[in-house]
Structure 1
Amino acid sequence: MSIQPLDVLYTAVATAENGRDGKVASDDGNLEVVVNPPKQMGGSGAGTNPEQLFAAGYSACFQGALGVVARQTKADISGSTVTASVGIGKTPAGGFGLQVAISATIPNVDEATARELVEKAHQVCPYSNATRGNIEVTISVG
């Protein structure tokens, strides 16, 4: 897969201090959070963590992609939700890796239509495109 140039519409900028045990802030002041490793990884769990931030971004982005697809197909996705679960663990090579499970609930369409919409959204979503072929991402409807 080759990287194609983008016509950049927006660039988000955030700076981290002290890695997983510090804080992260956006350059515009709209985001400032304390980050700490979760208790399962030996941290205090007092703040958020990078995996929660990734899950938040992915779920919001996927919901937006679902909206694009729904408008194209004239499907009613009102009341829909998208949940992203991001897992972190050790890789066989000794580093760390991520896996993601995306679950969409679309109450106003039948299951076959929901699956079709979610599959199409997975092709449109920038997070899905960025992770495709790099980490395991599963998608489901519920």
Structure 2
Amino acid sequence: METLYTATVSNVGGRDGDVKSLDGILEMDIKRPLEMHGEGGAANPEMLFAAAYSSCYNGALMAVAKRREIILPEHAVEVSISLNQDGNNMFLSGKIVVKAPGMNHEQLQQLADTAHAVCPYSKAVKGNMDMKVQVLV
């Protein structure tokens, strides 16, 4: 195995603190969302995870389309990450929505499912959190 890149980010203060990458590129406040009785107005862990996941998944989607020589029209990938509670248990769930207006639904669904199988973030959460994949054309 060859490591291509490692990102290291430090947090001080948990959900009401800040995060900083060791290289200084990322530096931002983290606030508990209003829905969790927080201040809101800043990023939160679920938002950051959704941002990273959507970027990685979209890269996988574009790579799969290129390998299959399928023209992927202008499109967007939305990832929703939910923090859930069941008694004292807290867990994440999510949804990936691929929007590619004008594309064949079945072809897009096949691309989306394959991207979900090869995306490093999808592999990381497989068996650990419920992720749904939906396509809209």
- Structure 2 CA distance, aligned partners of 1:30 and 1:79? 29
Shift of 1:109: 2.5
Q: Which residue is 2:2 aligned to?
A: 7
Aligned match of 1:111:
105
Does the 8 A contact of 2:73 with 2:103 survive in 1? Answer: no
| Residue aligned with 2:6, SS | coil
Q: Distance in 1 between matches of 2:10 and 2:89?
A: 23
TM-score, with length taken from structure 1: 0.92
Aligned mates of 1:22, 1:14 — CA distance in 2? 13
Q: 1:98 aligns with which of 92, 96, 102?
A: 92
Cα distance in 1, alignment partners of residues 69 and 83 from structure 2: 37
CA separation in 1, counterparts of 2:6 and 2:39?
32
Looking at structure 2, the residues matched to 33 and 77 of structure 1 have their Cα atoms a distance apart, in angstroms, of 34
Distance 1:107 1:70 in 2: 15
Q: Which runs of 5+ in 2 are unaligned?
A: none
**Aligned Cα root-mean-square deviation (Å):** 1.1
Q: In the alignment, what sits opposite 2:134?
A: 140
**Aligned-pair CA distance for 1:46:** 2.2
Q: 1:89 Cα shift?
A: 1.4
Is residue 30 of structure 1 aligned with residue 25 of structure 2?
yes
Aligned pair 1:59/2:51, yes or no? no
Between the aligned residues of both structures, percent identity stands at: 37
* Alpha-carbon distance, 1:12 to partner: 0.7
Which of 73, 77, 80 does residue 72 from structure 2 map onto?
A: 77
Amino acid at match of 1:138: K
Q: Which runs of 4+ in 1 moved over 6 A?
A: none
Give the letter aligned to residue 121 of structure 1: A
Q: Distance in 1 between matches of 2:100 and 2:70?
A: 10
State the distance in 2 between where 1:7 and 1:108 align. 39
Alpha carbons of 1:76 and 1:107: their partners in 2 closer, same or farther (altered >3 Å)?
Answer: farther
1:20 match: secondary structure = helix
For 2:41, the equivalent position in structure 1 comes to 46
Q: Which residue of structure 1 lines up, in the alignment, with residue 14 of structure 2?
A: 19
How far, CA to CA, are the matches of 1:39 and 1:95 in structure 2?
21
Deviation at 1:8, TM superposition (A): 1.3
